[in-house]
Amino acid sequence: MNSISSMNTTTTTTKASPMTETKISARSVQVYYGEKHALRDVSIEIRPRSVTAFIGPSGCGKSTFLRCLNRMNDTIDSCRVEGSILIDGENIYDPKVDPVQLRAKVGMVFQKPNPFPKSIYENVAYGPRIHGLARKKSELDDIVASSLQKAGLWNEVKDRLNESGTGLSGGQQQRLCIARAVAVSPEIILMDEPCSALDPIATAKVEELIHELRTNFTIVIVTHSMQQAARVSQRTAMFHLGLLVEENDTDKMFTNPDDQRTQDYIMGRFG
């Protein structure tokens, strides 16, 4: 990763170096929940096939911003988004864009594992079915198997694909949700604190998985754990009070941040 571009970061905006590819480019995004101004003028560039971590204290807007990236905020009545978010150069808030298609391209993994109360097989097959990705049963079987393999769950569940997904352990459930997201072959996977409900062993497995997924997917992860951000991400963005405080290479961010607030947060002085 090129770290020269991050040398000239300002406190609120980051100019991507022309040499870096961008997958997602957000320009002065504002989010309001009713009267509440939840995100203020956030601009950020996210690189393809890398892991970008969003950190910051609770209520800082990092999850809100994550949910803007696949328009999950559309499901909240009072939420209003301004500014533009470009994915592969196309503004996803353009009226022409169908959020349903967008979400097939930008998958999401949630804080609490939320497998459907269906069999393991049906959980993974759900996305491919609704998007018509498989024409035959054998194709669907292949997608399910390869998704479970990519999520590192195949060996644990291959003999019980017809058992309920809710019967798995918490960590297995979360990897099932990742397999479910992977099954629709998204380009981007958003993860909203994916390990906050998991024990350390399950967390280690999911982090390992994130490492492997990075070769094929652009991953954006929200996390409360500084160590996790340091372990899994290449780039880190720090949010505070609805502002993007700093965005930098993870190594730099955790050793020598530009912003005092980042320094304080990482040192555990607040948050």
Partner 1 sequence: MNVGIIILVVLAFAAAGYIAGKRQALALSAGSGMKLHSLSGYYGQTVALFAAVPAFLLMIVWLLVQPVVVENRISGMIPESLASEPAARSLVMSDVRRIADGLDSVLVRGGLGEEALDSIAADTQNVRARLAEVGIALAGEVPPVVFEAARSYRQSAKTGALAMTFAVFGLSLLLGFLAYRRIDPQMRARNISETFVKSLLIASSLIAILTTIGIVFSLVFETITFFKLYPASEFFFSTVWNPQFRGGSELGILPLLWGTLYVSFIALLVAVPIGLMIAIYLSEYAGRSMRSFAKPAIEMLAGIPTIVYGLFALVTIGPFLRDYFAAPLGLGSSSSSVLTAGLVMGIMIIPFVSSLSDDIINAVPQALRDGSYGLGATRSETIKKVVMPAALPGIVGAVLLAASRAIGETMIVVLGAGAAAKLSLNPFEAMTTVTVKIVSQLTGDSEFSSPETLVAFALGLTLFTFTLGLNVLALYIVRKYREQYE
We find the least distance from the C-beta atom of residue 50 to partner 1, in angstroms, to be: 21
Pick 62 or 67: Cβ nearer partner 1: 67
Residue with tokens 């967008």: 102
Residue carrying structure tokens 């350390």: 200
- Name the nearest CA neighbour of 21 among 42, 49, 43, 52: 49
Residue (74 or 264) nearer to partner 1, CB: 74
Helix residue ranges per DSSP H, the chain: 62-68, 99-105, 120-130, 137-150, 154-157, 170-182, 200-213, 226-232, 250-255, 260-266
Question: CB of 2: closest distance to partner 1 in angstroms?
Answer: 32
Minimum CB distance to partner 1, residue 218 (Å): 16
Measured from the CB atom, is 47 or 71 closer to partner 1? 71
Nearest-CA neighbor of 174 among 145, 152, 188, 194? Answer: 194
Enumerate binding residues for partner 1 (CB under 8 A). Answer: 70, 72, 75, 77, 100-105, 107-110, 112, 114-118, 126-127, 130-131, 166, 177, 180-181, 184
Q: Is the dihedral of CA 82, 26, 74, 245 positive or negative?
A: negative
> Taking the CA atoms of the chain, what radius of gyration do you get in angstroms?
18
CB of 269 to partner 1, least distance (A): 33
Please, which residue, 41 or 74, has the CB nearer to partner 1?
74
CB of 100 to partner 1, least distance (A): 5
**9 vs 63, beta carbon nearer partner 1:** 63
